[in-house]
Structure 1
Amino acid sequence: ENLRDKLALPEGYFFTIEGEFQAQQEATRRITTFSVAILFVIAFLLYGYFRTPFFAIQVLCDIPLAMVGGLVFTYFKLNNISIATLVGFIAVAGVAARNSIMLISHYLHLMQHEGENFTKKMVIRGTKERLVPVLMTALAAGIGLIPLVLAADQPGKEILHPVAVVIVGGLITSTLLGLGVTPTVFYTFGRKAADTAIQNEAPASH
Structure 2
Amino acid sequence: MMGELFASFGLAMLTGVVCIYIVLVLLFKDFLQPVTILMALPLSLGGAFVGLLLAGKSFSMPSLIGLIMLMGIATKNSILLVEYAIVARRDHGMSRWDALLDACHKRARPIIMTTLAMGAGMLPIALALGEADMSFRSPMATAVIGGLITSTVLSLLVVPAVFTYIDDFKQWVLRHVRRHSHHAAPEAGANTAPKSP
**1:137 corresponds to 2:119:** no
Q: Which residue of 1 aligns with 2:95?
A: 117
User: Which letter maps to 1:35?
Assistant: M
| C-alpha distance in structure 1 between counterparts of 2:4 and 2:145, whole Å | 26
**1:167 corresponds to 2:167:** no
- The correspondence for 2:43, drawn from 65, 70, 84, is 65
**1:190 corresponds to 2:152:** no
- The correspondence for 2:65, drawn from 69, 83, 87, is 87
- The correspondence for 2:11, drawn from 33, 44, 48, is 33
Q: Deviations over 1:166-201 (max 9, x none)?
A: 11111100100111111122134424648x9xxxxx
Q: Which residue of 2 aligns with 1:9?
A: none
| C-alpha distance in structure 2 between counterparts of 1:172 and 1:154, whole Å | 27
- The correspondence for 1:128, drawn from 86, 100, 105, is 105
| C-alpha distance in structure 1 between counterparts of 2:11 and 2:60, whole Å | 16
Q: Is the 8 A contact 1:151 1:157 kept in 2?
A: yes
The verdict on how the C-alpha distance between 1:153 and 1:162 changes in structure 2, with shifts beyond 3 A counting, is: farther
| C-alpha distance in structure 1 between counterparts of 2:35 and 2:118, whole Å | 26
| C-alpha distance in structure 2 between counterparts of 1:187 and 1:33, whole Å | 31
**SS of alignment partner, residue 190 of structure 1:** helix
**SS of alignment partner, residue 67 of structure 1:** helix
- Give the Å deviation of 1:102: 1.4
The verdict on how the C-alpha distance between 1:25 and 1:153 changes in structure 2, with shifts beyond 3 A counting, is: farther
**Which is richer in helix?**
2
| C-alpha distance in structure 1 between counterparts of 2:86 and 2:170, whole Å | 10
| C-alpha distance in structure 2 between counterparts of 1:156 and 1:137, whole Å | 27
Listed as ranges, the matches of 1:39-50 within 5 Å are 39-50=17-28
| C-alpha distance in structure 1 between counterparts of 2:127 and 2:41, whole Å | 26
- Give the Å deviation of 1:150: 2.1
- The correspondence for 1:180, drawn from 157, 165, 176, is 157
| C-alpha distance in structure 1 between counterparts of 2:39 and 2:56, whole Å | 26
Q: Which residue of 1 aligns with 2:74?
A: 96
TM-score in terms of structure 2 length: 0.77
The verdict on how the C-alpha distance between 1:165 and 1:65 changes in structure 2, with shifts beyond 3 A counting, is: same
| C-alpha distance in structure 1 between counterparts of 2:153 and 2:167, whole Å | 20
| C-alpha distance in structure 2 between counterparts of 1:71 and 1:193, whole Å | 33
Please list every run of 5 or more consecutive structure 1 residues that lacks an aligned counterpart in the other structure.
Answer: 1-21, 197-206
TM-score in terms of structure 1 length: 0.74
User: Which letter maps to 1:86?
Assistant: L
| C-alpha distance in structure 2 between counterparts of 1:100 and 1:50, whole Å | 13
